[in-house]
Amino acid sequence: MKIVTRKNLLWTGIAVASIGLLGIAALPADAQFRGDRQGPDRRGMMSPEKPEARGDQRTQMLRTLFRDVNLTDEQRETALEIGKQHRAEMQAWREANEPQLRELMADARDARELDDRDQLQALMAEFRELRESAPQMTDSLEGIRDILDEDQLATFDENLEKIRSQIERRMPQPGERRGPGFDQGRQGRGGPGFDQRRQGPGRPGFDQGRQGRGGPGFDQRRQGPGRPGFDGQRQGPPGPGGPEARGDQRTQMLRTLFRDVNLTDEQREAALEIGKQHRAEMQAWREANEPQLRELMADARDARELDDRDQLQALMAEFRELRESAPQMTDSLEGIRDILDEDQLATFDENLEKIRSQIERRMPQPGERRGPGRDAQRPRGPRSQAAPEQSGTTSAEKSSTEDQLDL
């Protein structure tokens, strides 16, 4: 076994920390700025615009790092606390420096397009200087090593050396140019990049929970097509999640909701205003709660990686409680119903019931398992089972569509 020196620990710490931060330090600065073509949008996996790729790579490294270390409960709690503290420092640094990083990368793209190599070199130097001011993970790795016994430490250091070797093998040597997509984790024949597991049909990557076909991991909410899970990135087919898929789903639901309702121009304007007001309230809520949501999601990923199910259930309960504080769409739906005449209302409620039924059919019932790989321990939140009232739809039923439909 190779001895992990302070230098090696520092080297690997920089790589791991960078993945947890912006992902860009896992490549040499010149690989970011010299402009190797990366694909259609020219943004590599390592760019700040790709949080899901960073999550995949970070999760893979964590699993490799703690593989067969067999932490005790007390050690697990300490490791979680060390990681939480490091993320807090990284988040503060990111918030303070992300605008400058984005500006540097935009300037670098312009310099590359103009083939202004002197300017590109100057930007690279500025980028390296800024990157070196980021909190390093060396102290966090040392802190984790300090809590391990001799056998655990030997395994941990061996895993750390594997990570370092994997990164080194995938980094271009001076003067070497790799093909398009190198820094997006893409390779030629031989399978996926470093941030992915080789997988058969339907098998998730590193960042996903154990699952059968299409099913999310145990720390995710059950979901319809394209809907992101508890940690906001992962979903079963037909995914992907994210803004585009959510936009498609919202458009489809709105079409179903107003099908054959035949709004007048005045009603259409009123419905648009109600939807606009709801979106404004939701945006304000997201901006106010995003830091806490991100922290919960990060803590949930760590708890899952360490197989701390009690901690994960507590985090899910906190997540549900926070989500329930969001503006509800029940009032918006009631506001729309108030502007409809009797015939329109009957059609609207019938459409709303169709949406509710479609969502419920996609949602597994309590105790139901979809796919052999779903973790049976994943908790379920309460779900309303209220029955329709005559031809209308109850408030409880309407609220069951709130987190699927966004006017």
pLDDT in tens, 33-88: 433 433 333 333 334 444 455 556 667 777 888 888 889 999 888 888 888 888 88
Q: Please state, for a pLDDT cut of 70, what percent of the chain lies above it.
A: 55
For residue 48, is the peptide bond before it cis, meaning its omega torsion is within 30 degrees of 0?
A: no
Any residues with CB less than 8 A from the CB of 380 and at least 6 apart, and which? 222, 366
CA 110, 115, 118, 120 dihedral sign is positive
Helix (H) and strand (E) counts in the chain: 13, 0
State the number of CA atoms in the 13 A half-sphere of 402 facing the CB. Answer: 23
CA distance 59 to 65: 10
- In this predicted structure, what is the pLDDT of residue 296? 86
State the number of CA atoms in the 13 A half-sphere of 355 facing the CB. Answer: 28
**In angstroms, how far is CA 32 from the centroid of its own chain?**
23
CA distance 116 to 334: 59
pTM: 0.37
- In this predicted structure, what is the pLDDT of residue 246? 52
Nearest to 293 by CA among 229, 204, 238: 229
CA 40, 20, 282, 314 dihedral sign is positive
Residue pair 221/210 in contact by the 8 Å Cβ criterion = no
Neighbouring C-beta atoms of residue 246, cutoff 10 Å: 15
SS3 content of the chain, % helix, strand, coil (to 5): 60, 0, 40
Any residues with CB less than 8 A from the CB of 309 and at least 6 apart, and which? 303, 377
Could you tell me the residue ranges of all domains in the chain?
Answer: 6-170, 242-364+392-399
Got the DSSP string for 41-88? T---TTSTT-HHHHHHHHHHHHHHHHTTT---HHHHHHHHHHHHHHHH
CA distance 5 to 310: 36
Mean pLDDT throughout 236-263? 66
- The token pair that represents 376 in the structure block: 């049976």
Phi-psi region of 174 (alpha: psi -120 to 50; beta: other; left: phi over 0): beta
Any residues with CB less than 8 A from the CB of 142 and at least 6 apart, and which? 9
CA distance 383 to 207: 27
CA distance 141 to 226: 36
Where is average pLDDT lowest: 38-42, 269-273, 394-398?
A: 38-42
**In angstroms, how far is CA 134 from the centroid of its own chain?**
22
- In this predicted structure, what is the pLDDT of residue 267? 87
More confident residue, 370 or 340: 340
CA distance 401 to 384: 11
- The token pair that represents 71 in the structure block: 């932490």
Nearest to 48 by CA among 106, 92, 130, 133: 106
Task: Label residue 20 by pLDDT band (50, 70, 90).
Answer: very low
- In this predicted structure, what is the pLDDT of residue 383? 42
State the number of CA atoms in the 13 A half-sphere of 345 facing the CB. Answer: 13
pLDDT in tens, 85-126: 888 888 898 888 888 888 888 888 877 867 778 888 888 888
- The token pair that represents 191 in the structure block: 């399978």
pLDDT in tens, 231-242: 434 344 444 445
- In this predicted structure, what is the pLDDT of residue 252? 76
Task: Label residue 398 by pLDDT band (50, 70, 90).
Answer: very low
CA distance 223 to 214: 10
- In this predicted structure, what is the pLDDT of residue 194? 30
CA distance 110 to 117: 11
More confident residue, 76 or 214: 76
Q: Which long-range contacts (CB under 8 A, 24 or more apart) does 305-310 make?
A: 305/59, 305/62, 305/63, 305/66, 306/66, 306/71, 306/76, 306/79, 306/80, 308/76, 308/80, 309/377
